[in-house]
Amino acid sequence: MCGIVGYAGNRDVVSVILKGLTNLEYRGYDSAGMALRDGDDIKVYKTLGKLINLKNELESRKSELIQPTCGIGHIRWATHGSPSIVNAHPHSCTCGKLVVVHNGIIENYKELREELTVKGCVFKSQTDTEVIAHLVADEYSKVKDLEKAVRNSVSKLQGAYAVCVMHKNVPDLIIGARKHAPMLVGIGDGENFIASDTPAIIEYTKKTIYLDDNEIAIVTKDSVKITDADGNEVVKKVEVLPWEPIALSKLGYKHFMLKEIHEQPDVIRNVLNGKLYDIDAPIVLNEVKLDKDTIKNLKKIEIIACGTSLHVGMAAKYIIENFTGISVEVEASSEYIYRKTTTDASTLVIGVSQSGETADTITAIKQAKEKNAHILIVTNRPDSNMARLADSLIPVNAGIEVSVAATKSYIAQMISFYLLAIHIAEVKGTLDDVYLKNLKHEIIQLPTKVEEILSNTTTIQECAKKFSSFKNFIYIARGVNLATAYEGALKLKEISYINATGYAAGELKHGPIAMLDETMPVLSILMPGGITYEKILSNSEEAKARNAKLIALTSSKDTNIDALFDVVLRVPQVSEILSPVITCVPCQLLAYYIAEFLGKDVDQPRNLAKSVTVE
């Protein structure tokens, strides 16, 4: 969603902020802006659409600038007020001396706006953010101290915020504050940064301080001071970022999504590294802080997540129940938070999130925490807000994922769940030794099998071409691959804007079959060796009888099925329970090639954001 970059230092301020915003643009946005301290003045630039427009605007007005010494930049994903230049950040107070950029939502903005209007503030935008500019300016006029003014003002805000403020009368100072929205300070040599996420600063420094809720950062090029809500200075740990700037390069691939799909074999190896290395040794999962007795007595697991991470949870239900016999409930975070749940202190609650910043999941996890459940977080961002809520934390180590459409984080989360399920099974003794060894052996082979798929994508590309003109799709599967059907359909929707729905194959005849004709292709995921292969084959026959075009995604070597299906996407053979790791890859590639063929903005699909930090 929105992104913030602040910089104070001797480099070219415009370039640093633009670069930082570029590294955040994968999060999704609709407008951009920058405020620059230039001599005695603060100059504001805003444009609609992509960052290139802001870059061009700054270039065309270059002669206005003498030598900016610090600045704040923002990319906006509209929540209050449509995407427009007037609603783009930075926002200014009535006299224009104070500027602010903001991520999050101010829930009491209407009341504040009324109060400030009565005081004579003139509002220009429809945003909730603008109240912050007027509020801080109003406080500053009273206390004449920007740090105090920010502190007093944010105490009046309800909701979520990460804000950066500059004032014309206070040269070369940027103040940042946060609550329920991420913000960090990057420490450089004779330069410092403020940002909403690490990719914004990684090209310049790896030294980072993560702000906690209610903390305020007072930043100049030579100093960083962090205070709490009462103004007391806080000594914070300086952390070193694990990422390399190279992670933000496409490395010759046309899109980040394609690069990230191709990284998956190594991602799986990374997840397995140190945890599953020998089929005779138990899984090493020291991240799980539950003692053996607690694991043995576990009666219920709840998995809470959104979107693609929710689909991982759906597959995980099959995997955990199959390996351990423990009952697993899976729920969308947005549903969990608005009902009376049965979560209690004996429940293991697992939050799954690529970004670790998804607002609904964070709220759900907080609610579960209040009920004293043990919280396990599975995330690609161990530095995230969600990770900080964890009693146990499994970082999935997929590396930074730039494409909005999640791919490698999905596979990494999935593998983490296999390890978790086996770990629990080993503690409980629910799996037979021979089965366990074969299972581990097969898991170790998974990267090679994914490589096999990635080494020849011709059939998938041809299939994409053949089906790219269809407006609707149905994906069907059963059992553990039902999650793949949901995820495959979501991938297609997200990046190609083609309407696609995943169904349990057995449900087809209970309604969706009414939609079937030659305009509605059906992609069947049918992996032999399990108990549902023949059933899905029959469901596919039923679809064929209604003239639907059929695609099979299967490891079956049976050439008879080639007559039933219009296209057969063959994948390597693997046990059904492990097959979601294999079947998800052609689904990702099919969606990718269809979107690419249709000329869509694959990495930054319209209306979507990488981290959904608002409810």
Residues assigned a catalytic role: 2, 610
Of the pair 405, 614, the CB lying nearest ligand M6R is at 405
Question: 198 or 355, CB closer to ligand M6R?
Answer: 355
Sole window of 151-159, 320-328, 402-410, 432-440 interacting with ligand M6R (rule: CB under 6 A): 402-410
x/- string (CB under 6 A) for ligand M6R, residues 594-613? --------------x--xx-
CA–CA dist 363, 378 (Å, integer): 16
Q: Within a 10 A sphere around the Cβ of 512, how many other Cβ atoms? A: 17
| Shortest Å, Cβ 405 to ligand M6R | 4
> Which sign, positive or negative, has the C-alpha torsion 395, 401, 406, 410?
negative
73 binds ligand M6R (CB under 6 A): no
Name every residue whose Cβ is closer than 8 Å to that of residue 264 and which is 6 or more positions away in sequence.
407, 408, 411, 447, 450, 454, 585
Which of positions 208-237 make contact with ligand M6R (CB under 6 A)?
Answer: none
Nearer to ligand M6R, 177 or 406 (CB): 406
103: closest CA among 177, 205, 34?
177
CB of 603 to ligand M6R, least distance (A): 11
Provide the token pair at 178. 């946060």
Number of residues engaging ligand M6R in binding (CB under 6 A): 16
Asked if 481 touches ligand M6R (CB under 6 A), the answer is no
Sheet holding 207-210, edge to edge: 41-48, 31-38, 68-76, 3-8, 192-195, 184-187, 207-210, 239-240
Structure token digits, residue 323? 């390996």
Contacts with 477 (C-beta within 8 Å, 6 or more apart), sequence order: 484, 485, 502, 504, 505, 524, 525, 526, 536, 583
Residue 5, beta-bridge partner list: 73, 195
Which residue, among 506, 582, 493, 580, has the nearest Cα to 538 in the 3D structure? 506
Stretch 482-501 residues interacting with ligand M6R (CB under 6 A): 494
Which residue's CB is nearer to ligand M6R, number 539 or number 611?
611
DSSP 3-state of 133? helix
Sole binder of ligand M6R in the list 16, 36, 149, 406 (CB under 6 A) = 406
Stretch that binds ligand M6R, among 72-80, 137-145, 301-309, 505-513 (CB under 6 A): 301-309
- Residue-wise DSSP of 501-531: EEEEGGGGGGTGGGG-STTS-EEEEE-TTSS
β 98-103/91-92 pair status: antiparallel
Please report, as residue ranges, which positions from 28 to 47 form the binding site for ligand M6R (by CB under 6 A).
none
Considering the complex, what minimum distance in angstroms separates the CB of residue 613 from ligand M6R? 10
Considering beta carbons, is residue 287 or 494 the nearer one to ligand M6R? 494
Of residues 451-470, those binding ligand M6R (CB under 6 A): none
Site for ligand M6R in 281-300 (CB under 6 A): none
Per CB under 6 A, 446 contacts ligand M6R: no
- As measured in angstroms, the least distance from the Cβ of 352 to ligand M6R is 7
* Least distance to ligand M6R, CB of residue 357, Å: 7
Is 306 a residue that touches ligand M6R (CB under 6 A)? yes
Sheet holding 161-167, edge to edge: 91-92, 98-103, 161-167, 170-179, 216-219, 224-227
Is position 307 an interface residue for ligand M6R (rule: CB under 6 A)?
Answer: yes
Q: Give the closest residue to 407 by CA, choosing from 286, 536, 586.
A: 586
- Select 307 or 586, whichever has its Cβ closest to ligand M6R: 307
Residue 211, both tokens: 């702000």
- Ranked by CB distance to ligand M6R, the top (closest) residue is 307
Q: Which is nearer to ligand M6R, 123 or 497 (CB)?
A: 497
In angstroms, the Cα distances linking 40 to 36, 72, 171, 441 are 10, 16, 7, 67
Coil/strand/helix, residue 436: helix
Distance in angstroms (rounded) separating the CA atoms of residues 137 and 42:
14
Of the listed pieces 52-60, 215-223, 302-310, 514-522, which binds ligand M6R according to CB under 6 A? Answer: 302-310
Beta carbon of residue 71, minimum distance to ligand M6R (angstroms, whole number): 29
User: Considering beta carbons, is residue 23 or 324 the nearer one to ligand M6R?
Assistant: 23
Q: Which of residues 350-369 bind ligand M6R (CB under 6 A)?
A: 353-355, 358, 361
| Segment lying near ligand M6R (by CB under 6 A), choices 322-330, 403-411, 429-437, 594-602 | 403-411
The rounded distance, in Å, linking the Cα atoms of 55 and 53 is: 5
Decide whether 87 or 309 has the Cβ nearer to ligand M6R.
Answer: 309
DSSP state of 50: S
309 binds ligand M6R (CB under 6 A): yes
Rounded to 10 deg, the angle between the 408-428 and 580-597 helix axes is: 170
Does 313 contact ligand M6R by CB under 6 A? no
Nearer to ligand M6R, 387 or 527 (CB): 387
Give the nearest distance from C-beta 379 to ligand M6R in angstroms: 8
Summarize as ranges the residues that interact with ligand M6R (CB under 6 A). 306-309, 353-355, 358, 361, 404-406, 494, 608, 611-612
